[in-house]
Amino acid sequence: MQNRSSLYLGLMSGTSLDAIDVALCERNEDGFVQVAGTAIDLDPKLRQQLLNICNEKHSSLHQIGEVDHLFAAACAQAINHLLSQEGINPSTVTAVGSHGQTIYHSPDTEIAFTQQIGDANVIAAQTQIPCVADFRRMDMAYGGQGAPLVPAFHQALFAEHEQQRVILNIGGIANISVLNGTEHAFGYDTGPGNMLMDAWINLHHQQIYDKDAWFAKSGQINQTLLNQLLADPYFTLPAPKSTGREKFNLTWLTEQIADQNYPAQDVQRTLLEFTAITIAEQIKQQSQACDVYVCGGGALNPLLMLRLDALLVGHQVQTTEALAINPMYVEAVAFAWLAEQRILERKVPLKAVTGATRDTILGCVYLP
């Protein structure tokens, strides 16, 4: 790892399972900045294979091993595409930070564990760039939730001296980072982000997400269903806490609906309201009137953004574009930054977020 350059790559495929996001970043006089990016849609067959593994507790080892390789190869292809597009020689990139695809996250069971796939050996071999991966499990080894990891990155890049800010990431799951000046960030998963809305529109219209909230806009809020969704115990659990597809999925939703014949569009509108309320309530509990910066796919949902703005009275809600970072690439940039921290052997300050007994160096390095 001699002759380190200032270039890093970040890879992110979140719980929404819609695309592989790749961010090319540089450490320069302006800080840690994104210089290029691409989002490659997941091949529909691979996406379905990933969904099958995520949704089936009893997937075979053969299935998991095969998709582990296939997903890594897709990540490597996305990296090579971006570097070719930008005319960047792979040898000038210090490292790739790869989150991998979470297939199961279980931080609160007697034997806590988390599992991501996307073989970092394959990524390193097919890109010829060192790959940093497996970011979550060292935190869990020290008693932490292993998630969310991005608050430390948010603190490093977005904290404002003597001014509170909230960074809200709305992916499949939503999480908040509360930034209080120079103090360490505090944050956790608030609950579902796009995940349930995506699953419901996919079930009824075979679309990956509700573009411009057209489906939600066609429905009405069902107060009975909304109250039932809000009654889930997760929302009253104290932090630190994290969640995922294992908890909030289509099976969970259909159990809430039971045999009620609610119009599909009303369920979609209710899910959007449910998402907005659970996010807003947590932000109001953890912050005073302050700026809220939104990133992730939810930042592109106009109705969700309107509802958040209405619910967060006294807060100013805007996307991270206001902080000069594309809201669709914030998490990919975060994993490029986490790769830099690992290469520099820096501990990541996350114990206040995850509940770990100590801050640790996160990630393992795979050399090509």
**CATH code, 160:** 3.30.420.40
Judgement on whether residues 139 and 211 belong to the same structural domain of the protein:
no
Judgement on whether residues 262 and 343 belong to the same structural domain of the protein:
no
Q: Give the pLDDT score at 289.
A: 86
Residue 1: pLDDT above 70? no
* Residue 278, in any domain of the structure: yes
* Residue 2, in any domain of the structure: no
Judgement on whether residues 63 and 206 belong to the same structural domain of the protein:
no
Residues 186-200, mean pLDDT to the nearest whole number: 97
What's the structural domain count of the chain? 2
Q: What percent of the chain has pLDDT over 70?
A: 99
Q: Give the pLDDT score at 4.
A: 56
Which domain range does residue 209 map to? Answer: 155-323
* Residue 1, in any domain of the structure: no
Residues 49-74, mean pLDDT to the nearest whole number: 91
* Residue 130, in any domain of the structure: yes
Cα angle 135, 340, 102 (rounded to 5 degrees) comes to 25
Q: Give the pLDDT score at 17.
A: 82
Judgement on whether residues 75 and 181 belong to the same structural domain of the protein:
no
Judgement on whether residues 61 and 206 belong to the same structural domain of the protein:
no
pTM: 0.94
Q: Give the pLDDT score at 54.
A: 86
Judgement on whether residues 73 and 186 belong to the same structural domain of the protein:
no
Residue 3: pLDDT above 60? no
Judgement on whether residues 254 and 180 belong to the same structural domain of the protein:
yes
Confidence label for 2 from pLDDT (cuts 50, 70 and 90): very low
